Amino acid sequence: MIVNNSKRETNTVSFDVALDAAEFDKYVNGAYLKNRKSISVPGFRKGKAPRMVIEGLYGAEVFYEEAIENAANDAFTFGAEQEKLRTVGRPMLSDSQVTGEKGVVLSFRTDVWPEVTLGQYKGLEAVKDAVEVPEEDIDREIERMRKQNARLVTVDRPAENGDTVMIDYVGRHNGEEFDGGSAENQSLELGSDSFVPGFESQLVGISAGEERDLDIHFSENYVPELANKDVVFHVKCNEVKMEELPEVDDEFAKDNDFDTVEDMKADIRSRLLSSRETAAQNAFTDRLVEAAGEKMTAEIPASMVESRLDAMLQDYAQYVESQGMSFNDYLQMMGGDAEKFRESMRATAEKQSRTEVLLDAVATAENIEATEDDYKEECARLAANYGMPLEQVERLVDREALKGDILRRLAIKVITDNGVAVERPAEEKAEAAEKE
């Protein structure tokens, strides 16, 4: 194979790869061997006709299309390696010409990693918020713990929002019961919005032993057979319960593995402080990286963004399906389709692509390398996070992709370590205080 006519225009490279007759004939013969069983030739058992006979009957070019398709994969890889191209997106075979000597010239176009001119990435200023833990936040966390430790007790009064009712119900449309519309002794917390809109609000004030008919209108996004329909649920209340919260005392602290209430509060303060410091540091880092990206000059190839969008959509679909729901059902429930959902992630994909280009350029400028120790340390971290044996992680991970992640993390560290933290402007502080 020989590479000719290599040209670059911004982030797109075109080049030709020429295969001589012997090289091309290998792909033609491969196409013959693959397809001969499906070709009928008079006088020969199916699959036994020689190639020259088939070509004589159907033309010398009978296998060219498939041969060119198979040759293109190898030829593009060869050409990209010869030209030392870092390709992105999917390459395009723009033309193919069989030569008079029965060789072939394949013409390709591909997007490549963009050329980058770094701007300032050290000594950048960014807001880093001061971290504090007010007493009311500790009280809020204790209240959450109280609710976790609450018990339900039966009360002899009408149900209020926040109470739990035990109910029997039957749903009917035009007087006929419908599938999935009935239950006995169902537990329902009023105000939790866990039932269809309008159901819980109509049960406020119901007492044990009382029966009610609830008029409900299903939305157009409900199951097809009931979408946009009016139904009636006949409900009988068996019991009304309320949450009984534990007192905040040392006994409550002991139930949560602390000796005293003060010990418990100290632990809450420490955990909140740690998580907020991490969040503040992450936000500071994000602002610095974004600022460095704004000072960089680079034109991001559209195909790079499209590839990232494809990956993001695939990852999200896998996550949804891991939760036991088909992705199509999820999209239908959300009132959209895959293309609209994909487009909703475009801004994120563009930002991530630009950040990846920035960090790659910083790593190059700083001569950062991912050592074997870095690689092993990252594999060990993944093994611990996922509860998997280290050997299994090392078998499963893409070594080069993981090293790329390490390089980008080290590049982020360079930007962050050299960043300058500044206070939030007074007007922004005032706005934030008003929102709180």
Q: Is 102 domain-assigned?
A: yes
Q: Is the domain of 315 the same as that of 378?
A: yes
Percent of the chain with pLDDT over 70: 97
Q: Which of 218, 244, 270 is at the close of a domain?
A: 244
Residue 186's pLDDT is 92
Q: What is the pLDDT of residues 384-425, one digit of tens each?
A: 888 888 888 888 888 888 888 889 999 999 999 999 999 887
Q: How many CB atoms lie within 10 A of CB 139?
A: 13
Q: Is the domain of 320 the same as that of 416?
A: yes
Q: Is 238 domain-assigned?
A: yes
Distance between CA 172 and CA 152 in Å, rounded? 31
pLDDT greater than 60 at residue 435: no
Q: Which of 8-17, 284-293, 426-435 has the highest average model confidence (pLDDT)?
A: 284-293
Q: How many CB atoms lie within 10 A of CB 365?
A: 13
Q: Is 118 domain-assigned?
A: no
Both tokens of 366, joined, read 């700083």
SS3 155: coil
- Evaluate whether 54 touches 93 at the Cβ level (below 8 Å): no
Q: Is the domain of 237 the same as that of 274?
A: no
Stretch 174-178: mean pLDDT: 89
Both tokens of 306, joined, read 């499209």
Q: What sign for the dihedral angle of Cα 381, 384, 389, 393?
A: negative
Domain that holds residue 25: 2-112
Q: Is 342 domain-assigned?
A: yes
Residue 399's pLDDT is 83
Q: Which one, of 416, 410, 298, 412, lies nearest residue 354 by Cα?
A: 298
Q: Is 141 domain-assigned?
A: no
- CATH number, domain at 405? 1.10.3120.10
Domain count, the chain: 3
Stretch 164-169: mean pLDDT: 94
pTM value is: 0.70
N-terminal to C-terminal alpha carbon distance within the chain: 68
pLDDT greater than 70 at residue 430: no
- CATH number, domain at 202? 3.10.50.40
Q: Is 305 domain-assigned?
A: yes
Residue 436's pLDDT is 53
Residue 428's pLDDT is 66
Q: Is the domain of 183 the same as that of 36?
A: no
pLDDT greater than 80 at residue 426: no
